Structure 1
């Protein structure tokens, strides 16, 4: 089992490294693209839900959101019924960056899945979703201050 998680980790780190290099040309730094993509695909999402979606703590999400807002990629808007709630939206600059990010993601998918049949690709997605769901149980448990027993 360890080899599977190591492989997943290596794939994730390699793609993240590529992204961090290539996204410098659109002024996105270390991991900001994750937030921008999720905000663009979920207009009006709130910070807490975004942090949960990306699997980071709220402080990390707050820092990234603050930077994206300062750079003009996203904006916060008050909720119409509850002014304490700030909804996140991409700006025109964010939308432009998203189109670049989408092209990169499509290319990375094509490269990563080269040689796979449609059935293999669909099976891989199902398997990885199951792995993520299993890990999410522990993530939620630890996030609440608990310690796993090994």
Structure 2
């Protein structure tokens, strides 16, 4: 079997490294830009949904949210329908940074897809979508198994 995950990992780490350098001056520590982008795109999202969209554990998500809030990029508001839920919103500063992040993302996409035809790009997008769906289903299964294992251990 081919080991595509190694190449995907290399691509991911290279892009993360570039982003960390590009966004450091914006008070965006390692990988936090993805949280800010999703909050800007989904104002009022709750932390659990954000973690699910990004496929990142809740503890890591909580830490990133805390840092984004500390740096004045997002704000939390209590949900009037459910006091437990904290709705996440970008601040003016967070919204001002968003277009820069999107431009950098578009640049990275252009670099990554350099030399590919439109047909090749369409095929790649379709295949990556299928790979993402496969991994997402496995992520949900593992997450569910862990929750069930914790419940059994607590009884």
Q: TM-score range by the shorter chain?
A: over 0.9
TM-score in terms of structure 1 length: 0.92
1:93 Cα deviation (Å)? 0.6
Structure 1 residue 122 corresponds to structure 2 residue 129: no
Q: Does 1:58 align with 2:65?
A: no
Question: Could you tell me which residue of structure 2 aligns to residue 17 of structure 1?
Answer: 17
Query: Matches of 2:49 and 2:2 in 1, distance apart?
Result: 30
Within 2, Cα distance between the matches of 1:2 and 1:72? 44
- Shift, 1:83, TM fit: 2.3
Range 132-141 or range 14-23, more displaced: 132-141
Alignment of 1:1-150 (within 5 A): 1-144=1-144, 145=146
Provide structure 1 residue ranges, at least 5 long, that are not aligned to the other structure. Answer: none
The CA deviation at 1:78 is: 1.9
Question: Deviation at 1:2?
Answer: 4.0
Query: What is the number of equivalent residue pairs in this alignment?
Result: 147
1:140 deviates by 1.2
TM-score normalized with structure 2 length: 0.89
After superposition, the C-alpha distances for 1:7-42 in whole angstroms (9 at most, x for unaligned) are 111100100011011111111110110100111111
CA–CA distance in structure 2, aligned partners of residues 74 and 21 of structure 1? 21
Aligned-partner SS, 1:76:
strand
Gaps of 5+ in 2: 150-155
